[in-house]
Amino acid sequence: MNLTNYKINEFFQTIQGEGSYTGQPSIFIRLQGCPVACSWCDTKHTWDIEPSLEISADKLLAKSAETEQWSDLSVDQILTLIVQQKFKAKHVVITGGEPCMVDLTPLCQGLEQAGFSTQIETSGTFEIRTTDSCWVTVSPKVNMRGGYEILSSAMKRANEIKHPVATEQHIDDLKSLLLQHKVTTTPVYLQPISQKQRATELAIASCIENDWRLSIQVHKYIGIE
């Protein structure tokens, strides 16, 4: 029995819309808590952990809107909920918030032992503690209000790098990061911020120029969570 607990804001099944796993049916586990403070963050409701907003697993599953409420669940409880919800996906995406604020090894071990593949989406500002087989997506957040630096260990552990872009400065920041951390073979995805035309055109041109890949947040275009 694994008694490690995680503070979870959302728990749902959908289609992965970003990066290498685009199109993959996935179970998303969104953790509560993030100090990075990205200006364009679309999950600001996950930033703070307010003890008074803790709810039961049943209420978590019944949430119909984004809220700051969260539920404290063990690995065994999470596995039980997957069965109870009759989720069919065999791929689990652990996101946030900033999931790497906590040790994700017990959660990924439990999921993988139950037959799931695992993926973490992280800003690269915290040590990545997980299993060797977990797919790690690092979306490096440079010069955010929280003041956290991108860790070399995170860049080296990344299976893919997914970088949000809106301006030429974002491209320059990414090139500097790749050079600084000697990243040469890891797949790089550019993701236009908020699907704006200018950002999308910049991302396309930069992908062609640098032999990178495009990630366009398919789930937002087709209108799913």
Residue 223, annotated as binding a ligand: no
Residue 124, annotated as binding a ligand: no
In 42-180, the DSSP E strands lie at: 71-74, 91-95, 117-122, 135-138, 160-165
* Buried-state track 204-215, b at ≥16 Cβ within 10 A, e below 16: eebbeeeebbeb
Residue 100, annotated as binding a ligand: no
Residue 30, annotated as binding a ligand: yes
Residue 211, annotated as binding a ligand: no
Residue 184, annotated as binding a ligand: no
Residue 195, annotated as binding a ligand: no
Report yes or no: 35 and 146 within 8 Å, Cβ to Cβ. Answer: yes
Residue 44, annotated as binding a ligand: no
Helices H, strands E: what count in the chain? 7, 9
Distance CA 89, CA 65 (A): 22
Residue 167, annotated as binding a ligand: no
Residue 43, annotated as binding a ligand: yes
Residue 33, annotated as binding a ligand: no
Distance CA 76, CA 66 (A): 25
Residue 15, annotated as binding a ligand: yes
Residue 42, annotated as binding a ligand: yes
Tokens representing 156 are: 């080296």
* Binding positions for [4Fe-4S] cluster: 34, 38, 41
* Binding positions for S-adenosyl-L-methionine: 40-42, 97, 139-141
* Binding positions for substrate: 15-17, 30, 95
* Binding positions for Mg(2+): 43
* Binding positions: 15-17, 30, 34, 38, 40-43, 95, 97, 139-141
